[in-house]
Amino acid sequence: GDEPHAPYHRPPLSKGLLTGATTLQQLVLRSPDFFADNAIDLRLGVRAQAIDTAARTVALADGSSLEYQCLMLATGARPRALPLPGANLRGVLQLRTLDDALTLAEARKAAAHVVVIGGGFIGLEVAAALRTSGADVTVVESQRRLLARTFLPAMSGYVERFHRARGVQILLDRGVRALHGSGGVEAVELD
């Protein structure tokens, strides 16, 4: 994997790790001994670059390659890049990895107000965790309701009421046009 960390539990990244309820030690999936005892060669910080199915090899970013008899692809997911002016400003963060979560938790300490772009599962978990930690939180969702691709309207309404009752401001059917600031993000321009 291209991360420097051994495999870890990912669900707490958008929940307990942001609130402080989950420690780094609680994220550990297996002890280092587990990998050695089970003859697992753990390659950290090295991205797989190419697969040659005819030769049955995987080329790694460090120039080495691995032979295989059976190959499992476990690529995970990547957050969509924000195609917005200002997306590269300091303070515009994404959440996928442990390092992303640690950066978000640290940035939260200095942020009085947080805008979460996207009212899906992870966006809402982050919003709830940051609200629990004391931040003022606004969720901007482009759909007419939260979790529209996943839930029926009644369940979307329930989730929306739940978050609003806890102080999360929710803006539905709204898009983000640009992010503004001098060096760091200071404002979110809506459509």
Strand 169-172, strand 136-141: pairing: parallel
Q: Quick one: CA torsion of 124, 128, 134, 137, rounded to 10 degrees?
A: 20
**Residues contacting 184, CB < 8 A, separation 6+:** 89, 90, 91
How far apart, in whole angstroms, are the C-alpha atoms of residue 1 and residue 103? 20
Three-state SS at 128? helix
Gyration radius from the chain CA atoms: 20
Whether the pLDDT of residue 76 is over 80: the answer is no
Whether the pLDDT of residue 74 is over 80: the answer is yes
What would the pLDDT profile of 11-46 be if each residue is shown by its tens digit? 999 999 998 899 999 999 999 999 999 999 999 999
Find, among 80, 106, 109, the residue nearest to 94 by Cα. 80
Query: pLDDT above 90 covers what percent of the chain?
Result: 87
The two structure tokens encoding residue 3? 């991360």
Most trustworthy range by pLDDT among 69-73, 131-135, 155-159: 155-159
What would the pLDDT profile of 137-183 be if each residue is shown by its tens digit? 999 999 999 999 999 999 999 999 999 999 999 999 999 999 999 98
What number is the average pLDDT over the span 124-149?
A: 96
How far apart, in whole angstroms, are the C-alpha atoms of residue 79 and residue 177? 18
Query: pLDDT above 70 covers what percent of the chain?
Result: 100
Amino acid at 17: L
Its pTM stands at 0.87
- Indicate the pLDDT class of residue 2, thresholds 50, 70 and 90: confident
